[in-house]
Every structure is written in structure tokens, then in C-alpha cells.
Structure 1
Amino acid sequence: MRVSRQLIVMLLAILLAACASGGGLGVAPPAQDQAAVEDYSIGVDDIVQVSVWRNPELGITVPVRPDGKISVPLIGDVVAGNRTPAEVAADIEDKLSAFVRDPQVAVILTDLRSHEYLSRVRVTGAVRQPVSIPYRQGMTVLDAVLAAGGVNEFAAPDRSSLYRKTGEETTSYAVRLDKIINRGDLSTNFKVAPGDVITVPERAF
């Protein structure tokens, strides 16, 4: 028994050290990517983790069913589809309040599997094939433009723009595609977010 206890202590020490250093247990995404996940509308087959503070027995990790719902202990079915994690957490808290005093719920997306439901990134204008493609974490402007087959012979690539809607406001960012593609200047090779639109204008004749 003494050897087993020592082994357990050693394993716990290694685990705690890994957590403290972030060693392989998951690194927090950049702020922009995290915001994108927080605003993401949950889709069918996404894996959702529900945690209730001080009530671990109520925690679940389940895929979203085809009807867009998940089943939560005590309260039954909760609509998750087409809602953000924060909206689902608020709904669960409201329903759990009939059974648990001051419930504090966290809803985390552990696996985005509903590719057909993902918010998309669109590339329009003077590209070989305008496209609407599923967002992937870490995707950049260049990734999206290459998915559109690159720019065509009529393009003015250094006058390209990235449009991003936040709430009711739309912000544009200048993209120097020619410098990205032909000169390796990645200063405007921004990471994209769900819902972004990249437009490549035609050059003036």
C-alpha cells in the first residue's frame, strides 16, 4: 500500500505541474478566436460540456441531438441549437433554480463537429471561384483566398478588404493580398472569424 500511495502522489505532482505550465493540457486560444467561439451558434452534433458549480453530479458532456436539444439532469431537455454557449447556460441556470440554490452554470464547446452549421467565411469579388467556406480555428485571409482559387487576372489584390460584423457595426480592414502572396509580407494576413467577408476588387482600366 505504501508503494501505491507514493506512486499516486508522484502522478498527482506531475499532473499539477503540467496544469501549471499548460504542458499539453490545452492552451487558451487568442482573444479573437475565443470571442469567435463565445459568439458561435451551437449546431447539431457539436459536443457540449455542462458544468454546475458545487454540483458535479449535474455535469454532462453530450452531443447536440438532431432536434437541437440536450438532456440535462433534473430539468430534462434544453434547446442548444442556434444558441450561444452563454444563452444555453443562462437557460439552464433559470430552470435549475427550481432545484438548486443560486446555480452557476458553465457551457463549453469541446468539439465543433457541425461543419454544415458552422458560421462561414465568404470570399467574393475578383477571385477564380467565389466561395462560402466553413470557419476553422486558426484560418487566415490567405487560407480563405486560396480556397477560392486565388485572385484572377482582373484583381487589384492590394485593395482587398476584410469585413467583420460585431453587433450592429461592420468594421473593414485593409488587406494587401499582393504583398502577402508575392512578397511574403504577412502583416495583413489576419486571422478570420465566423461571418467574415473578404472582398477582392477589380483593378481600374
Structure 2
Amino acid sequence: MKALLHFLLAAILLMVPCLASPIESGQAIEVQILGVPPGEQSRVAATYSVSDDGFVNMWQIGRIKAAGLSTDALARKIEAAYRAAEIYTSPTIQVMSNSSDRLVQQLVTVGGKVRSPGAKPYQRNMTLYQAVMAAGGATEFGAVNRVKLYRDGDVSTYDLRRAKDKLLKVEPNDVVDVPQKNVLGR
């Protein structure tokens, strides 16, 4: 009887991962990163929206296919992408998802040297300057003349001291990074 009970318990525990539903388009997922310097964690750790075509837009590595994968499979895929791009040597990614969570809001992720890094609600016609200000603005160490915008795997650099660059429209799922000033204070 005891052996049967142990067998049933083991069978139930083995079935639990199979019951986890795969990630779907439009779903909210939370990504955490360990094994990198604390200042780098805020660039990746955020809540992401899975796009209609099933991708998440990750800092520096761009679009990663998420729909149809388990949270563990997506975490391993993101880890491998960061290692392959030689951005991080040994990242540990954790992806959390509640299949019932759907993003009503679209998000823009702002990281680096800002006062409140993380995912910020996207607003229609939001500018690059507004996105940085939604994160509390740059700290005294933030280089506003070299703000990076990551979109669909492409990286562009903008100078928020210039009106034209301040007015650049951001899009849902963009990642904005305010880097640290260099030794010259720029």
C-alpha cells in the first residue's frame, strides 16, 4: 500500500510540469536575471508583453520567439542568446508567467542610469524623452547624450539634449537604456 502511495505521488509530481500551459501571444511574462552585475539586472529584469506574432523584445539581443514555449524553455533560450551574443557569460534567467495574465497595457522598458528602471506603460505617441521621464529621469550618472533605443534587434543612439531626438516616438515593447557617463562626464 505504501509503495502504491509513493508511486502515485511520484507520478503526480512528474505530471505537474506537463500541465503548465505554453506561453501565448498577448501574454504578460516576467523575466528576472541573475549572475550579472546588479546594475545590469535592471536592463533585463522586467515584465514583457508577448507580441501578436509571439515574440518578446529583449535588451541587446532583440526579438526572441516565446509563444508555444514553456517558461523554462524560454529562459534557456534567452540565456543561450545572451551567451551567444557575448553580452553575459553566465546569466541565469527566470521566466514567470500566469497564463491568465493578459497585458491590457502595452509597455516600454527603461533601464540603465534612471531613477526608477523597469517596464513603464506605453502611451499613444509617447516620445523617447517621455519614456525616460516615466522612469524618473536620468540620475546624475546618466548620459542623456547617448540614450540607446532597442527595437526589433536594432540599436540606435540618441541625444536627449536635441529637440529632434527628444520628440522621437517610441513603440510598444521598445527598450530604452540610459548608459553611464564616461570619465569626461558625457
TM-score normalised to structure 2 length:
0.42
The structure whose Rg is larger is: 1
